[in-house]
Structure 1
Amino acid sequence: MNSEKKHKKKSKMERGLTNRHVQVMAIAGTIGTGLFLGAGRSISLTGPSIVLVYMITGGFMYLMMRAIGEMLYQDPEQHTFINFITRYLGKGWGYFSVWSYWLSVVFIGMAEITAIAHYVQFWFPSWPSWLIQVVFLTILGLVNLIAVKIFGEVEFWFAMIKIVAILAMIATGIFLVLTGFETPYGSASLANISEQFSLFPNGGMNFVMAFQMVFFAYLMIEFIGVTTSETKDPRKVLPKAVKEIPLRIIFFYGGALLAIMSIIPWRELSATDSPFVTVFELVGLKWAAALINFVVLTSAASALNSTLYSTGRHLYQIAHDSPNRFLKAIKADTLSRHNVPQNAIIASAVLIGFAAFINVLPGVSDAFALITASSSGVYIAIYILIMVAHLKYRKSKDFMVDGYLMPQYRLLNPLTMLFFIFVFGTLFLQESTVMGARGSAIWIIAFGIYSQWKFRK
C-alpha cells in the first residue's frame, strides 16, 4: 500500500536546501580528503587494481544508500536515517545507534578540526594550533546557526573546489597521454597501467587491506540522508542524488586514479606524498603544493561543516527520543527563530572544540587517537544495523510498493552486510588498526548490551 502519510510528522525545520545544493553535496560526499592526500598510499598497496577496490567498495556503499533512500523516500520527514533503526529494530538498538553515531561523527569532527590546523600551518607555521581550530569552529558554527540555506551555499562552494581539482587532474591526464608528455619516469601513457598488469602485484593480503583504507574514504556518504527533512521536494531530489552515486564514483575516483597512474608509473609514486602535487608540479605548476593544501583545507572545512550540521540534527533527535536532564537543561530539543536546532549544534560544537586542547596533552592525545580509531569500527556496526532495519521495513506495513525501491534487495542487502563484516574483519589484520578494532568491538558489545538492557521489556 502507498503509505505516504504513515508516520508523517510535522517538521518545523526549514526546507531551505535546494536541488542544486543537494546534488553538489552528494557529489562531494563521495569524495573524501583521502583521495588528495592518501591516493599514493592506496595505490602503493595494490597498484592499478586499487581502482577495482574503489569500484567494489563504492558499489556496496551505493547499495546501502539505496536502502536508506528507500526508507527516506517513504518517510522524508525524518531528521536522521537512524530513526529507522529505532522504528524497525526497537528502542534498544535505536538508542545504541543514535548515541554511537553522534559520538562517531563528533570524533570525525575532532579529527577534521585537527587537520584544518595542520593545513593552515602549511602557510603560517607559527600560528598556534588551538587558535586556528577555535576560529574555524566558530566561523562554521555560525554558518550552521544562521540558516540552513546559508549552510547549503557554503557547502556548495566547498564542494565545487574539490570537484574542480579532480576535473583538473582528469583533464591533465587526458592531455598528457594524448600528447605523449615526457616525464622523468617516461612517457605519459595508458601503457603505464596495462603493462605487466597484475591483480595482486604486492600479494593478496595487500589487496585485501586496501579495502579498509578505501572504505573509510567513503565515510559520511550517508550524510545526504540527513539533509532530506530540510530539502525542497525531497521525493524528487533524493532519488536523483542517490541514483547518480555510481557514476560519480566511476568518474571522480576511477578517472583521477587512472589519470595519475597513466602519467606516473604506479611503482614510482610515493606512498607518503600527494600524487596530485606530484602531477601538477610535473606540468610546471610550482605552487602545486600550496594549491592542493588549499583544496584539502577546504575539504576538511567542508567535512567539519557537515559534522556540525549532522551532529546538531542527531542530538536534536536524541533530545526528542531519549531525553535526559542535561539535554533538557540545555534545551537541545528546541529550534531557533531560524528553524535550526541551535542549542544542539552549539553543544556538539563545544564537544568538538575540546580537540583543540586534547591535542596539546600527550597522554590524553594518545587516548583520543585510540577512541577516534575505535569510532570507525562503530560506524560499520551502524551501517549493518541500517541494512537490517531495511529488511524489516520491507516486511512491515510501512512498505511503499510504489516507492524508490532497492533492487534485488533479498540478495543485495545481505551481501552488503557481509561486505561490511568483511571490512570490519580486515581491521584486525593490520597493526595500525587492530587497537581501534578492538576498541570498537568492546564498545559495540558493552554499549549494545547496556542499550538492550535499558529498554528491556
Structure 2
Amino acid sequence: MTTDSAVTNTPPTTSAPHDGEGYSHALGNRQVGMIAVGGAIGVGLFLGAGKRLVTMGPSLIFAYAICGIAAFFVMRALAELVLHKPTAGSFVNYSREFVGPWAGFVTGWMYWLNWAMAGVAEITAVGEYMHKWLPHLPNWISCLVALGLLVLANMVSVKVFGEMEFWFSVLKVTAIVVFLVVGLGLLFSHAHIGHYTASPSNIVDHGGLFPHGFGVCLLAFQSVIFAFAGIELVGVAAGEAKDPHKIIPKAVNSVIWRIAVFYIGSVLLLTMLMPWSGYDAGESPFVTLFSSLGIPGIGDVMNLIVLTAALSSTNSGLYSTGRILRALADRGEAPKFTVKMSRRHVPYGAIALTGVVYLLGIALNYVVPSQAFDVASEISSLGVIFTWGMLIICQMRLRKKAMAGELERPAFRMPGAPFTGWATLGFLALVVVLMGFAGGSTAIAFWSIPVLLIVFFVSWRVISRRDRERLEVS
C-alpha cells in the first residue's frame, strides 16, 4: 500500500486522445513565475478595490485574508495534480480522471464560461480606458485593435504569449511595489494627504473595522474570489512548461505571499494613509490617493496600469480557453475545429472561438445596458468557484487512490489534507449560498445556477447518447 511518504509518480489511469500532444514546451521559469504573479494581480485590485473599500471599509482586509487562505489551498491542490500529470488540459483532464467524464465536461465549460464572460467585460473596458487619451476615437475601434493584437499574439506561438504576459506582469508588480514603498514613506512621515493625515488610527477612527457590519463583509467574499481569479492559470501553463516539476512548486508557493503583500498589504496601507470613506467607488483607490497628493500625471500612469491589467486578463483568457477547449474537443465535447493545431503548436481553432465571443461582446456593448456586463462578471465568478471546488475534489480523490496503492503522490502536496480540503469546499459552498442574499447582479448570477445545471445535464445526456450509439455501430 502507498503511504503519504511516497514521492514518485505512476502513469495516470486514463488519458485523453491527445492529452497535451502537439504542444511545445516553450515556457520557462521566468515566464511561468510571472504568469503566476500576473494571475494574482488584476483589475480586481487596481480598480475594484475602490468600490469594495467604500462598501466594506477596512473589513476588506479581513475578506482578502480569508479568501486568500482558501486560494492558497486551492493552489496547493492544483500543484499536486500538476506534478501527478502536467497537461495543458489541466482541470478538464484531472476532473475526468479522478471524478468522471461528466465532471471533465462540466469543469471545462464552466472554466470557459468564466473567461468568456470576464473577457467580454475586460476587452470592452479597454475602449473606455483608451478614451482618456483618445477622446474622439470610437471605443469599438480601440477594442478591435486590442483584441486583434492579442489574438494574433496567441496565434503566433506560446512563447509570444509568455513574453507578453511576462511584461504585463512586470508592469503591474512594479506599480504595486512603487505604491508600497511610497505609501510606507508617507505613513512613517505622517504626511498630509488631502484633508487627512496618514496614520494607523485611520483604520478604526471612522466606524471601526466593520463600519457597515460583519454581514457586508461576508456578502463580499464572492467578489473578492473573483478578484483572485486567474491564479489557477499556472496549472494550464504547466502543460507547456520546460520543467514543471521544478517550476510549479516555486510558482504556487509564491502565490500566498503575493496575495498577502499585494492585496492585504495594499489595502491595509490604503486604509492607513486615508480613511476608507475618503475613497471613490468609481475610481481606482490608487488614483484617488496620489491625486490627493497633487502629483501631476498620476491619472495617466494609473490609467496605463489599469489598461495593462485589462489587456493581461484578456490575453490570459484567450490562452487558457484555447487549451481547455482543445481538451474538451479531444473527447468530442466541443466543436471539432477547436481541436486543430497550427504548425507553431497553437490550438488556433479554440482561440478563434473565444475571440469571436469577445468580438460579440464588443458589439453587444452598444445594445445591452451596462448592468448586463455586471451580471456577466458575476456569472464568470461561478466558473471560478466551481473550478476551485473541483480541483479540491480531484486532489482528495488523488490522495484516496494513493492511500489505496493505486498511484503514488508527488512529494509536493496539499498541507493538512484531507481536512483543509473539506474546509475549503465548505467555504466555497458558503460563498455560493451567500450570493443568493447579496441582491442586484450577484443575486441574478446566483439564480442562473439552475439554468446552467439544466443546460449541462441536457448537453451531457446528448453527448453520452451519441457516444453509446457510436460504440454500438462499431
* TM-score class normalised by the smaller sequence: over 0.9
- Which residue of the other structure, out of 357, 364, 380, is the alignment partner of 1:358? 364
Structure 1 runs (4+) greater than 6 angstroms displaced: none
8 A Cα contact 1:74 1:403, kept in partner: no
1:451 matched to 2:465? The reply is: no
Aligned to 1:210: 220
In structure 2, do the counterparts of structure 1 residues 317 and 194 end up closer, same or farther at CA, with 3 Å as the change threshold?
Answer: same
Aligned to 1:373: 378
In structure 2, do the counterparts of structure 1 residues 440 and 187 end up closer, same or farther at CA, with 3 Å as the change threshold?
Answer: same
Q: Choose 375-384 or 208-217, whichever is displaced more.
A: 375-384
Q: Distance in 2 between matches of 1:135 and 1:230?
A: 28
Aligned to 2:472: none
Q: CA deviation at 1:268?
A: 2.3
Q: Distance in 2 between matches of 1:79 and 1:414?
A: 25
Aligned to 1:63: 73
- Which residue of the other structure, out of 377, 389, 397, is the alignment partner of 2:394? 389
In structure 2, do the counterparts of structure 1 residues 446 and 319 end up closer, same or farther at CA, with 3 Å as the change threshold?
Answer: closer
- Which residue of the other structure, out of 348, 353, 356, is the alignment partner of 1:347? 353
- Which residue of the other structure, out of 428, 438, 445, is the alignment partner of 1:420? 428
1:170 matched to 2:175? The reply is: no
8 A Cα contact 2:36 2:234, kept in partner: yes
8 A Cα contact 1:77 1:229, kept in partner: yes
Q: Distance in 1 between matches of 2:272 and 2:377?
A: 35
Q: Distance in 2 between matches of 1:54 and 1:193?
A: 16
8 A Cα contact 1:158 1:298, kept in partner: yes
8 A Cα contact 2:9 2:410, kept in partner: no
Structure 2 counterpart of 1:408, one-letter code: G
8 A Cα contact 2:117 2:379, kept in partner: no
Unaligned runs of 5+ in 1: none
Q: Distance in 1 between matches of 2:44 and 2:238?
A: 26
Structure 2 counterpart of 1:447, one-letter code: F
- Which residue of the other structure, out of 104, 110, 120, is the alignment partner of 2:114? 104
Q: Deviations over 1:259-282 (max 9, x none)?
A: 211211223222332210122123
Q: Distance in 2 between matches of 1:123 and 1:318?
A: 41
1:193 matched to 2:199? The reply is: no
Q: Deviations over 1:362-381 (max 9, x none)?
A: 37x76665455333224322
In structure 2, do the counterparts of structure 1 residues 261 and 226 end up closer, same or farther at CA, with 3 Å as the change threshold?
Answer: same
1:337 matched to 2:343? The reply is: yes
Aligned to 1:438: 447
SS in 1 for 2:339: coil
SS in 2 for 1:3: coil
8 A Cα contact 1:71 1:390, kept in partner: yes
In structure 2, do the counterparts of structure 1 residues 399 and 54 end up closer, same or farther at CA, with 3 Å as the change threshold?
Answer: farther
TM-score (norm. length: structure 2): 0.89
Aligned to 1:322: 332
SS in 1 for 2:448: helix
Q: Choose 262-271 or 169-178, whichever is displaced more.
A: 262-271
Q: CA deviation at 1:389?
A: 2.0
In structure 2, do the counterparts of structure 1 residues 229 and 38 end up closer, same or farther at CA, with 3 Å as the change threshold?
Answer: same
Aligned to 1:244: 254
Aligned to 1:408: 416
Aligned to 2:471: none
SS in 1 for 2:291: helix
Aligned to 1:84: 94
Q: Deviations over 1:357-408 (max 9, x none)?
A: 1112237x76665455333224322322222222212122554334321111
1:221 matched to 2:231? The reply is: yes
Q: Distance in 1 between matches of 2:364 and 2:419?
A: 45
Q: Distance in 2 between matches of 1:346 and 1:196?
A: 50
Q: Choose 204-213 or 368-377, whichever is displaced more.
A: 368-377
Structure 2 counterpart of 1:272, one-letter code: G
In structure 2, do the counterparts of structure 1 residues 345 and 196 end up closer, same or farther at CA, with 3 Å as the change threshold?
Answer: closer
Aligned to 1:283: 293
Aligned to 2:9: 3
Q: Distance in 1 between matches of 2:344 and 2:409?
A: 36
8 A Cα contact 1:375 1:440, kept in partner: no
Structure 1 counterpart of 2:340, one-letter code: T
Q: Distance in 2 between matches of 1:423 and 1:309?
A: 28
Q: CA deviation at 1:442?
A: 2.3
How many residues are treated as equivalent by the alignment?
A: 452
- Which residue of the other structure, out of 314, 328, 334, is the alignment partner of 1:304? 314
In structure 2, do the counterparts of structure 1 residues 391 and 116 end up closer, same or farther at CA, with 3 Å as the change threshold?
Answer: same
What is the Cα-based RMSD across aligned positions, in Å? 2.2
Structure 1 counterpart of 2:414, one-letter code: M
Q: CA deviation at 1:434?
A: 0.7
Aligned to 1:74: 84
Q: CA deviation at 1:454?
A: 4.4
Q: Deviations over 1:299-358 (max 9, x none)?
A: 10011010010111111111112256xx33x3x223211111122212221222111211
Q: Distance in 2 between matches of 1:260 and 1:143?
A: 36
8 A Cα contact 1:312 1:348, kept in partner: yes
SS in 1 for 2:208: coil
Q: Distance in 2 between matches of 1:141 and 1:118?
A: 20
Q: Deviations over 1:228-271 (max 9, x none)?
A: 01111000100111111111111111221122112112232223
In structure 2, do the counterparts of structure 1 residues 104 and 275 end up closer, same or farther at CA, with 3 Å as the change threshold?
Answer: closer
TM-score (norm. length: structure 1): 0.93
In structure 2, do the counterparts of structure 1 residues 15 and 45 end up closer, same or farther at CA, with 3 Å as the change threshold?
Answer: same
In structure 2, do the counterparts of structure 1 residues 338 and 412 end up closer, same or farther at CA, with 3 Å as the change threshold?
Answer: same
Q: 1:23-34 residue pairs with structure 2 within 5 A?
A: 23-34=33-44
Q: 1:2-21 residue pairs with structure 2 within 5 A?
A: 2-6=8-12, 11-21=21-31
Q: Deviations over 1:53-76 (max 9, x none)?
A: 101101101111111110111101
Q: Choose 391-400 or 202-211, whichever is displaced more.
A: 391-400
